[in-house]
Structure 1
Amino acid sequence: MPEPVVQTDEFAVVLRAAIRARGLGLERIRDRLRGQGISVSLATLSYWQSGRSRPERRDSLAAVQLLETVLEVPAGTLTDSVGPPRRRGRWLSTVPVPPEVAAFWARPDAVEDAVSEVDIKWDERLTRISQHDRVFVGADGGERSYHSRQVLRAEADGPDRWVVIMHLDEHDRALPEIRPLRHCRLGRTVLRPADGLLVAELLFDRPLRKGETVITEHELVNSAPYPPATNYERKFRLPVREFVLEVCFDPDRLPVDCVRYSQLDEADEVAVRVEPLESVHGVALNFGPGRYGFRWRWAD
């Protein structure tokens, strides 16, 4: 089964040379960056030096500047080799250098480390045609479950899985159970309760051929005591043609305030207040990379 070609860019070449010349391992580099207040995971450093991804966001570029000091290279050696931002197209399902996996997460290092234990090599070869999330919130204000349906198209022969990343804000709560429902089965699962993280592979019925589409459905189900629900968002590292998000509240308890928000890449967040009904929804077309979600407030 063919694997996607990893493009080697100038930054990866320069970084590898600097690391070899300095004689530091990735763990020591990570620890020195952390000592200076910059958190970069081992997975991210590995992706950067292999050319699998490259720094583009503000926090990543700040890390690169500090890397020049850690690796004792002249200022500009690494930052100048990063190059201009990649072209952002609405239907770029494959790009020469894929976006960073954890670009829109609050703790990218923890997400990168967890994701490094599963196989994501096909992720950028799957075009997000349609995704539909339904979130169910109980009368106690706890998140009961969420159901996701998506339509994906293969841009090469071989994609055979989709990787789910889920985060709980309350790390003292049990992680949810992930249940494959249609045209997928559970593969490797990574549970990090201390970080509130669940990462899981959903394996398709068979590998896809180029141009072939697949419809998958899965759900995440929480157990009591249910985690408090005050927001839900989906993060898109690659564009989606259509995203539909529904939040379903128990009719016996509705929030007093509800906001739909979105943020494209590093642009400012756009927020719109919506009427807090039993079910609220939003539709985003040609969206991403970025974040899209709802947040709400309960009566005191």
Structure 2
Amino acid sequence: MPHGTQHADPGTAELETALRRGPFHVALRAAITARGLPLQRVQHHLSRHGVKVGVTSLSYWQQGARRPQRPESLRAVRALEEILHLPEESLIRLLASAEEEPGRTAGRSYRSLMEASGVLEELLAELDAPRDGGLHSIGHHEYVRIGGRRELLGRDSQHIVRAHRDGVDRFLAVHHGDPGSVPEHVVVRALENCRTGRVLRHDGTGMVVAELLFDMRLRAGDTFLFRYGFEDGTAGPSREYVRGFRGAGGQYALQVRFDGAALPVRCHRFSQHSTAAPRGGRQELRLSREHRSVHLVEQRVRSGIVGIAWDWE
């Protein structure tokens, strides 16, 4: 062997492969092994980060017997990335990808959701708008329409809000089209008690942000009801509809109605604590053949994501 040739550390090579290919428990086990830390030391480091996780749970995680799902567990995974000197989001990404169902193309990948989140922040900054808009949601009923080509035709929203500061006179509505959507062809409709203001579009992510203007300035404590919608129909087959919430709120109801020529074979509800978290809360939903629709109702929403997914033939 020529002088100066160096052998790659097998543990490091195994870790790099595991982080690239997964699954999560293999990558976690490889990272702990590469750092030479017993689980008791890993637990100690986590406690110094303000996260409490038992040694038994850590053992289950690296064996693949259980997967982190609760918010505290996901905090632990992010802390583990720092403790084990791993790239940011490397373990979280594996958790997210592991939740995709075999044989089913995800409507939103983790990468696309993160890109959309960044674009949304830029568009909101361009509108010089605070993220919460000074409004608290009391009730939100959303009606999604899927067309005969299995495409997202459009959606209508009825919103009831309460102002938590004086002077609020607008709401920013966000539409994230399915992959392949053409934002310039998406139409914003102000249906009741509002009118359309500025509209910003981003081709790369299919994002549309519309300013809906009220006819009055609300005072703190005032309630307001308005309706708006988006007409789309520009993308390919739709497989799910997702709604994200940044904080706790009131009731949320989602109804998805399908064209009679394109009915799914099954539908289910799901939830996520964040875009990076694994999906949970799966519940099969019965499709009404007469009305060609499914729905869910959340009496009080929490921070995170909730949605309905469906499978075509």
Bin the TM-score by the shorter chain: 0.5 to 0.7
Offset, 1:268: 5.4
User: How far apart in 2 are the matches of 1:267 and 1:238?
Assistant: 19
Contact 1:141 1:228 in 2 (8 A): yes
Of 242, 252, 256, the residue aligned with 2:261 is: 252
The answer on whether the counterparts of 1:171 and 1:193 sit within 8 Å (CA) in structure 2 is no
Tell me what 2:304 maps to: 290
1:204-243 CA distance string (max 9 Å, x none):
11110111111010010024x5542111111111222100
Instruction: Report the alpha carbon displacement of residue 134 of structure 1 after superposing the two structures with TM.
Output: 0.2
**Aligned equivalents of 2:311, 2:278: Cα separation in 1:** 25
**Which stretch of structure 1 is more off in the superposition, 109-118 or 170-179?**
170-179
Deviation for aligned residue 1:169 = 3.1
Aligned residues of 1:168 and 1:197 also touching (Cα < 8 A): yes
Deviates more, 1:204-213 or 1:169-178: 169-178
Alignment match of 2:231 (pick from 221, 232, 249): 221
- What's the offset of the Cα at 1:292? 1.1
Matched residue count: 205
Name the structure 1 match of 2:103. Answer: none
State the alpha-carbon separation in 2 of the partners of residues 290 and 105 from structure 1: 13
Contact 1:138 1:249 in 2 (8 A): yes
CA apart distance, 1:58: 5.8
Q: Which runs of 4+ in 1 moved over 6 A?
A: none
Q: Which amino acid aligns with 2:208?
A: L
Structure 2 residue corresponding to 1:154, chosen from 163, 174, 196: 163
Aligned twin of 1:106: 114
Equivalent positions of 1:228-247 (< 5 A) are 228-247=237-256
Per-residue Cα deviation, 1:83-111 (whole angstroms, up to 9, x for no partner)? xxxxxxxxxxxxxxxxxxxxx94322222
User: 1:238 is matched by which residue type in structure 2?
Assistant: G
DSSP-derived class of the 2:123 partner: helix
In structure 2, how many angstroms separate the alpha carbons of the residues matched to 1:174 and 1:190?
9
Is the partner of 2:130 in helix, strand or coil? coil
Matched residue type, 1:214: F
User: Is 1:272 aligned to 2:283, yes or no?
Assistant: yes
Q: Secondary structure at the match of 1:115?
A: helix
> How far apart, CA to CA, are the structure 1 residues paired with 2:259 and 2:278?
34
Q: Quick check: which has more Rg, 1 or 2?
A: 2
Answer yes or no: is the 8 Å Cα contact 1:105–1:111 preserved in 2. Answer: no
What SS does the corresponding residue of 2:122 show, helix, strand or coil?
A: helix
**1:137-196 CA deviation, whole Å, 9 max, x = no partner?**
112211111000000001121111111122123245345111111111112211111221
In 1, the alpha carbon distance for the partners of 2:152 and 2:178 equals 12
**Separation in 1 of the partners of 2:202 and 2:209?**
9
The residue aligned with 2:153 is 144
Question: Which of 165, 175, 191 pairs up with 1:181?
Answer: 191
Trace 1:1-300 onto structure 2 (pairs within 5 A): 105-107=113-115, 108-121=117-130, 123=132, 125-171=134-180, 173-175=182-184, 176-223=186-233, 225-265=234-274, 269-277=280-288, 278-299=292-313
1:124: how far off? 5.3
Distance in 2 of aligned mates of 1:138 and 1:172: 14
Which sits farther off after the overlay, 112-121 or 254-263?
Answer: 112-121
Match for residue 35 of structure 1? none
Unmatched 5+ stretches in structure 1: 1-55, 66-103
The answer (yes or no) to whether the contact 1:122–1:161 under 8 Å persists in 2 is no
> In the alignment, residue 282 of structure 1 is paired with which amino acid?
L
Cα 1:200/1:172, change in 2 over 3 Å? closer
- The one-letter amino acid paired with 1:252 is A
Percent identity over the alignment is 31
1:227-264 per-residue CA deviation (whole Å, 9 max, x = no partner) reads: 42111111111222100000001123210121111224
Structure 2 counterpart of 1:159, one-letter code = V
Give me the CA root mean square deviation. 2.9
CA distance in 2, matches of 1:249, 1:231: 12
CA distance in 1, matches of 2:251, 2:236: 28
**C-alpha distance in structure 2 between counterparts of 1:218 and 1:124, whole Å:** 17
**Counting helix residues as a fraction of each chain, which structure ranks higher?**
2
Match of 1:75 in 2: none
